[in-house]
Structure 1
Amino acid sequence: MDPLDRAQVLLLCDLCQRSALQSHCELCQINLCKACVGEHLSDSSMRHNVVPYKHRTAIPNVNYPKCPNHTQKHCELYCEKCDIPVCSTCISSGKHHGHKLTNVLQNPSFIKEILNNDLKELEKRICPTYEEIALDLNSEKINLEKNYEKLTTTVTKQGEDWHREINVIVNKQKSEIDDMKTKHLAALNKQEREIKQITSDVKQCIVDLKKILDSNDVSLTSAYNSRNAEFRNLPPKVNVSLPSFSPHQINTEQLHQMFGSLSALSIITEEHGYTMKTPEAVSCPPVKPLLDEPELITTIDTEYDRLFSVTCLSDEEIWTRGDDEIMKLYNLQGKRLKSTQTKSGNKPRDIAVTRSGDLVYTEPDTRTVNIVKNKKIKEVIRLQGWEPYNMYNVCSTSSGDLLVTMITDDYKQSKVVRYSGSTEKQTIQFDSKGKPLYSSGYIKYISENRNLDICVADYVARAVVVVNQAGKLRFRYTGHFSTTKRRLVPAGITTDSQSQILTADCNNCIHILDQDGQFLRNIDNCDLERPYGICVDTKDNLFVAEYLSGKVKKIKYM
């Protein structure tokens, strides 16, 4: 319904701001009352096309620039004399009376600004939102099989429980039948023995009588004692009524109710279920400026001949990984607090600490990722199947996932895989043109930024490769030659509370970039000797593992 048709809404003229509007100038994009139409048409510095408001052409869906003087208005016109965009309120003020006004869309610079605004919104908000939705849907599909398998297992278990209970009932009644059968047979056997005994006695009497009758011995006749009266008294008959089984009629409906029921599958399309990604709404930590000269706070000797990795358990404790199968935990005073040996006795390739404080390590020889929890080592991920990938570097994300770098045995393919528990959730391997994102080298330290970007220090490519959460390439950093004349040789990588990216350069310095890949500065003092693995604590202190010296240096840089 047109706003003018709503009795409760009164739209006013853009010029006088007093009377109800009735007309609309399509070329000037301004609403007019009856009295102001003539005044507006009297300005011959530009063309006009005044039509009834109801018959106005719909305004195109364009992100007009906001008016700097009237924040609730958008500038649909451009004052050529003042060389500024103007809104309808600006025009009604009279400041631009007699000036030539054109539609802002006819001004190339503002068309470009509108296009840039659209591009920025598409890149920063709309596209990341859809990519995140697609990622969530992919995760749902991955979990779907597991969830339905769990449901099937529950129903199967219920069936097994019922079968077990039915078997118990059947076996019990069969046992009772066997007992009754045994008792029945025993009763018949007892009576049979009695009858046979009596029959034997009767037959003996017959033999005795015939002997007497055939003999003339009077003494036998006089000694005879008749037992016929005894034999005429027949023994009691054992009557046994056979047991019977009365099966209950199976009530299918009742049986289904007793067994359990499945809730219905509910698929609802929620109109406003997704919300647009708004990076501006994310709370940002206080800005911490970089120090002009980073300060070396302390040095920890790890006793390794070669040191590769360091990761923070807390602000006071660090895990380290060197050139043997032992991973060591130190405090900042250099005291070793704990040592953990890999389960297989092989050397670990990389270490990380989960959100819950558990140590994670990769082991290429067994192609596994393992977690140390409560002094016990549990295998979390094991590569299986035909793919000959080896697992190397790992990091734990803010969501609890694990990001793992992998490479084929022939050193021809490389990728990053996201795991949720043991489930493969995402694979990052190619850019939008189908080209490999990463080199075929195996040294690729990895870290997740606060903005959920995935940052990889690719040693062989001599580059830092950063993709967004959906795996889309954001930028590559290959060094800053104004501060060092040698090519970047990146090893360890980490990020801080400001979403700044820090990468160790084997040329004895640390590069600091902002989240968009812009070089900020180098840390090239503090007597760094072949920096390799790095990490930061919650206070943005940097820990650097020196490959050659086997020492960890704590550096304050913000």
Structure 2
Amino acid sequence: MGEHMVSDQSINHKVVGIQARKCTSLYPGCTYHSKERCKMFCKQCDTPVCISCIESNQHLGHELSKLLRVLDERKDMIIKERDELNDTIYPTYQDIASDVQNRMSQLQKEYDDLSTAITKHGEDCHREIDKLVKKLKAEVDEMKNTQLQTLQKHLDEINNKLSNMKEEMNSLEIAIDTNDLSKLFSVTLNVHTYRNLPIKIIPSLPKFIPGKIQEELHKFFGALSSSSLTSDKHGYSMNTTQRSPKSSPPVKQLLDEPETVTTINTGLESLYSVVSLSNEEIWTRVYSKTMKLYSINQGSLLKSITTKSGNRPYDIAVTKSGDLVYTDYDDRTVNIVKNERIEEVIRLQNWKPKGVCSTSSGDLLVIMISDDNKQTKVVRYSGSTEKQTIQFDDKCKPLYSSGSDNKYVTENRNLDICVSERGAKAVVVVNQKGKLRFRYTGHTPSSKNHSFSPKGITTDSQSHILTADYFNHCVHIIDQDGQFLRYIDCGLNFPWGLCTDTNDNLFVAECVYKQVMKIKYLQ
């Protein structure tokens, strides 16, 4: 063996002890009989056995196999596991580690960019404040100079009269001391012209009213949205290290002509909302305090739920677990219905809830307006805990319009947050972090005369965004980047509420005609 230890040829040689040579199998010793070697294997007991074990009837009736045959099978299994580890799992973990490292590097860069953006915004704010200070000081100087000039002119007039009076007094003194009667009678008496005293000019100074820095600065400067770390145990696979919120759905093409599958006649006045509970049932909301569940195939009423407060709900949604959620605008609450019992989840102060949706992560998104109707925001809740507020863009300008018009919210498959605003005549889409992606302001059909009037909004498995155009009697379909794709008409009349089921069927609540239409628009 010496030549293998010293020669370069040993590089590809595996040197083992004499007992570990593969030319002769080394049988394991028996646990119960120390002097025996196990040459058989008991499948029921999953253990090697020796001849003494077999003779002791301990394994009577058990299926026995030669140990070498079992070892061959076991070795095949070990080889498969080794190959799987070597060829698939270990490289995948390496790719995942690399992916995490890349994410960390990207995260570092994005946070650095965020800090830089904040610093730049601060510098911009300082410049604007400096401009404002300079402008205000210029206005102060202009006001000061104007008032001083007025007062100086007034003073000059008074000093002129003082000079005239002094000359008058000298003339009078001379007249008093003279013996010349002609001079005495030639004196003109003008004292009456000085009895009317000059007017009193009182300057009024402007006041500087500083803003409340602590209360207003964060609105002026801007604020950070909340950050989060989410986990997805299905995020990685053995074939790829690409991570996505959901697995990619099969690609479906739009039908050339959408078709009506069925119509559910509810007989309900002012039918505003529809939401899919399953592929067989839908919840509806009307201009009343009662929400109703219908069978799609039978068209029959299955259940009715009355709001806890007796107020009309503003919007409805269904959670991942199938519970009904509704917003109570007048009561400032968001409520969930579990086993026909209503639980208050969220109670707002100084805000009133409008649209609501349940997200893929189980959170609730609520769009709300302030009591004075001047502010609008979208808030993400986990249970009753506020996780995220979306209100301003990167330039600290409001993302959403003010006013109490119809506002609805939904989450797209790519986790974008989509809001329809009738007052703004737009669909506003932000990403998961609340950054504005685009505004869609309509694509009015040539055959229609009304401007874009979005009402209900929903999405499908292809990340299409669908919104009801109320006065144009159609539904717009746009892609996830805001590009118009087509209309759905199908004889719609005053469409309001929208939803899709798991098969991408579209349900449209016709407000005036008291019915819900089920429409197939994807292949």
- TM-score normalised by structure 1 residue count: 0.50
**Corresponding letter in the other structure for 1:389:** W
Give deviations 1:360-387, integer Å, cap 9, x for gaps.
0000111000000011100000113xxx
User: Which of 273, 276, 291 lines up with 1:309 in the alignment?
Assistant: 273
**Structure 2 CA distance for partners of 1:129 and 1:408, relative to 1, 3 Å:** same
Change (3 A) 1:135 1:400: farther
SS in 2 for 1:452: coil
- How far 1:283 sits from its partner (Å)? 3.4
Counterpart amino acid of 2:398?
P
Equivalence for 1:425:
387
Does structure 2 conserve the Cα–Cα contact (< 8 Å) formed by 1:457 and 1:493?
A: yes
SS in 1 for 2:254: coil
- State how far apart, in whole Å, the 1-side matches of 2:335 and 2:256 are: 41
1:371 equivalent in alignment to 2:336: yes
Out of 240, 251, 272, which is 1:287 matched to?
Answer: 251
How does 1:59-138 map onto structure 2 within 5 Å? 137=227
Q: Could you say if the C-alpha distance between residues 508 and 127 of structure 1 is closer, same or farther in structure 2, counting changes exceeding 3 Å?
A: farther
Matches within 5 A, 1:270-285: 283-285=247-249
- Seen in structure 2, the aligned counterparts of structure 1 residues 407 and 504 have a Cα distance that, compared at 3 Å, is same
> Distance in 2 between the 1:478 and 1:409 partners?
27
Partner of 2:462: 498
**Distance in 2 between the 1:543 and 1:473 partners?**
28
1:438 equivalent in structure 2: 400
Question: Deviation at 1:303?
Answer: 2.3
Which amino acid in 2 is paired with 1:499? Answer: S
C-alpha deviation, 1:406, in angstroms: 0.5
Compute the displacement of 1:278 (Å): 5.1
Note if 1:532 corresponds to 2:496: yes
In 2: Cα distance, 1:436 partner to 1:498 partner: 29
User: Quick check: 1:511 aligned with 2:476?
Assistant: yes
Determine the structure 2 residue equivalent to 1:19.
Answer: none
Q: How does 1:406-485 map to 2 (within 5 A)?
A: 406-442=368-404, 443-481=406-444, 483=446, 484=448
Distance 2:287 2:322 in 1: 23
- Structure 1 position 459, deviation (Å): 0.9
Please tell me whether the aligned partners of residues 297 and 555 of structure 1 are also in contact (alpha carbons under 8 angstroms). yes
Percent identical pairs in the alignment equals 63
Q: CA offsets, 1:474-508, max 9 Å, x none? A: 00000114655532100000000000000000110
Separation in 2, partners of 1:527, 1:535: 18
Aligned-pair CA distance for 1:301:
1.6
Structure 2: which 5+ runs fail to align?
A: 1-104, 115-223, 231-240
Do the aligned partners of residues 130 and 556 (structure 1) sit closer, same or farther apart at CA in structure 2, a change above 3 Å counting? farther
The amino acid that maps onto 2:458 is: T
Listed as ranges, the gaps of 5+ residues in structure 1 are 1-121, 141-276
1:442-468 deviation line (CA, Å, top 9, x unaligned) = 311111001000000111000000000
The answer (yes or no) to whether the contact 2:255–2:521 under 8 Å persists in 1 is yes
Asked whether the equivalents of residues 139 and 425 of structure 1 are also in contact (C-alpha less than 8 Å), the reply is: no
Q: Which has the larger radius of gyration?
A: 1
Distance 1:457-1:126 versus aligned 2 partners, 3 A rule:
farther
How many Å separate the matches in 1 of 2:421 and 2:428? 7
Note closer, same or farther for the CA distance 1:410–1:469 as it changes in structure 2 (3 Å cut): same
Choose from 269, 293, 301 the match for 1:329.
293
The CA deviation string for residues 283-331 of structure 1, in whole angstroms up to 9 with x for no partner, is 3211111011100111112221111100000001000000100000001
TM, length-normalised to structure 2: 0.53
Give me the CA root mean square deviation.
2.8
Aligned counterpart, 2:91: none
Which residue of structure 2 aligns with residue 362 of structure 1? 327
Q: Secondary structure at the residue paired with 2:468?
A: strand
Aligned partner of 1:532: which letter?
Answer: W
The answer for the alignment partner of 2:158 in structure 1 is none
Aligned-pair CA distance for 1:441: 3.1
| SS at 1:517 equivalent | coil
Q: Is the 8 A contact 1:125 1:278 kept in 2?
A: no
Determine the structure 2 residue equivalent to 1:396.
358
1:76-225 residue pairs with structure 2 within 5 A? 137=227
**Contact persistence 2:246–2:413 (CA under 8 A):** no
SS of the aligned residue for 1:291 comes to strand
Deviation at 1:527, TM superposition (A): 1.3
Cα distance in 2 for partners of 1:302, 1:504 equals 19
Q: What is the rounded CA distance, in whole Å, between the counterparts of 1:473 and 1:495 in structure 2?
A: 18
Q: CA shift at 1:127, angstroms?
A: 5.2
